[in-house]
Amino acid sequence: MRQEALPPAAAIDYLKEILREILDRPLAGSSNSEFFPLKDTLNIWLVTGVNGAGKTTTIGKLAHMAHQSGYRCLIAAADTFRAAAVEQVKIWAERSDTPVISNPGKNTDPAAVVYDGIAAAQARQAELLLVDTAGRLQNKKNLMDELSKIRRIIDKNAPGAQIESLLVLDATLGQNGLRQAEVFSQAAQLSGAILTKLDGTAKGGVALAVAQQLNLPIRFIGAGEGIEDLRPFSSYEFVEALLNG
Ligand SMILES: Nc1nc2c(ncn2[C@@H]2O[C@H](COP(=O)(O)OP(=O)(O)OP(=O)(O)O)[C@@H](O)[C@H]2O)c(=O)[nH]1
Ligand SMILES: [Mg+2]
């Protein structure tokens, strides 16, 4: 632009192309660029993130989407930290008739719930097991270790499953999200991110940093508190909204 090598409109188009390329690069060589669970296979989606990012809400929306698309879906309520967490995820699950695996005890080991969830999913031939986890700050080592343990349980007990480890990122937190993503990436072996709260003023620029620096694809965006307010991520739509909005 400075060299006036291109007229302004063409320069904007070129910039959009560069941004789309950054967002799509983590998908290079992957067959699953349209993100959906594989049919007739157990898919396990581990959903993680800091407190209040929108994990449980997103799980409710994903269960709804899966139900509507004809998948046999199950939720493991592995947020055993907050008393009301299991109730919250059950209310969401009821809306899409999705069974919830939980442990009625107090402060139980979340990895044990995940273990039970995998066993139930295998017994019922479920195709998608959504794992809700407790919110945790990335600087709390014991909680991040607990997350690593959950991940190990999944790897060990569901060796044939298609595993996705998804970080839920609150778009309003800006570049703080990048540091979170780095730490979660190590603990949970992240394979993608979900950006929430894009219905507010946040534009979600952190998506670019997450894609570029951590090589993680953005898989869904949340744009509201309702059950339908989740959409598959499109780099085209995202960049248009980023630069035109
Ligand atoms: N506006 C808006 N609000 C959202 C979105 N996703 C989640 N929320 C709201 O964010 C708040 C926290 O959502 P939860 O789903 O409970 O978040 P969480 O990550 O499960 O929280 P913890 O389990 O406490 O760590 C709730 O008030 C949700 O309604 C979104 O896409 N847009
Ligand atoms: Mg939650």
Tell me what pLDDT residue 65 has. 97
Nearest atom within ligand 1 for CA of residue 200: 1
Tell me what pLDDT residue 34 has. 72
Tell me what pLDDT residue 28 has. 81
Tell me what pLDDT residue 33 has. 64
Tell me what pLDDT residue 29 has. 65
Distance between CA atoms of residues 96 and 229, nearest Å: 14
Helices (H), the chain: 8-24, 55-68, 85-94, 110-123, 141-157, 176-188, 206-214, 235-244
Tell me what pLDDT residue 8 has. 83
Q: Which ligand places an atom closest to the C-alpha of 55?
A: 1
Tokens found for residue 39 = 């049919």
Distance between CA atoms of residues 153 and 143, nearest Å: 15
Nearest atom within ligand 1 for CA of residue 85: 23
Tell me what pLDDT residue 176 has. 86
Task: Report every protein residue that has its C-beta within 5 angstroms of ion ligand 2.
Answer: 55-56
* 132 CB-near residues (< 8 Å, 6+ apart): 47, 55, 56, 59, 75, 76, 77, 78, 79, 85, 89
Determine what percent of the chain falls in helix, strand and coil, rounding each to the nearest 5.
Answer: 45, 15, 40
Q: How far is CA 217 from the centre of its chain?
A: 10
Tokens found for residue 67 = 């139900």
Q: Which residues line ligand 1 (CB under 6 A)?
A: 49, 51-57, 79, 85, 135, 168, 196-197, 199-200, 222-225, 229
* Pocket residue to mutate for ligand 1, from 57, 79, 90, 132, most atoms within 8 A of Cβ: 57
Q: Which residues of the chain have pLDDT under 70?
A: 1, 29-33, 245
pLDDT in tens, 125-147: 999 999 999 999 988 999 999 99
41-244: CATH, from 3.20.20.140, 1.10.260.40, 3.40.50.2000, 3.40.50.300: 3.40.50.300
Q: Are 238 and 171 in contact (CB under 8 A)?
A: no
214: CA distance to ligand 2 center in Å? 24
